[in-house]
Amino acid sequence: MAAEIRPRAQARKPVLLSKIETSQELVTTAVIIPKEDGVISVSDDRTIRVWLKRDSGQYWPSVYHSMPVSCSCMSFNPETRRLSVGMDNGVVLDFIVSEDYNKITPAHTYQAHGSRVTAVLFVLEMEWLLTAAQDRSICWHCTESGQLLGTHRTAAWVTGLQFDVETRHVFVGDQSGQVTILKLDQNTCSLVTTFKGHTGSVTALCWDAMQRVLFSGSSDHSIIMWDIGGRKGTAIEMQGHNDRVQGLCYAPHTRQLISCGSDGGIVIWDMEVERQETPEWLDSDSCQKCEQPFFWNFKQMWDSKKIGLRQHHCRRCGQAVCGKCSSRRSTIPLMGFEFPVRVCDSCCDSITEQERAPTATFHDSKHGIVHMHYEPTRSWLLTSGTDRVVKLWDMNPVIS
Tens of pLDDT, residue by residue, the chain (400 residues): 454 434 444 458 999 999 998 767 899 999 999 989 999 999 999 999 999 999 888 999 999 999 999 999 999 999 999 999 999 999 999 999 999 999 999 999 999 999 999 999 999 999 999 999 999 999 999 999 999 999 999 999 999 999 999 999 999 999 999 999 999 988 889 999 998 889 999 999 999 999 899 999 999 999 999 998 765 668 899 999 999 999 999 998 899 999 999 999 999 999 999 898 888 889 888 888 887 887 665 666 566 666 656 788 999 999 999 988 999 999 999 998 999 999 999 999 999 998 899 999 999 999 999 999 999 999 999 999 999 999 999 999 998 7
What pLDDT shows up at residue 4? 44
What pLDDT shows up at residue 308? 57
What count of residues does the chain have?
Answer: 400
Q: Which domains does the chain have, with CATH numbers?
A: 15-279+361-394 (2.130.10.10), 298-356 (3.30.40.10)
pTM of the model: 0.88
What pLDDT shows up at residue 295? 65
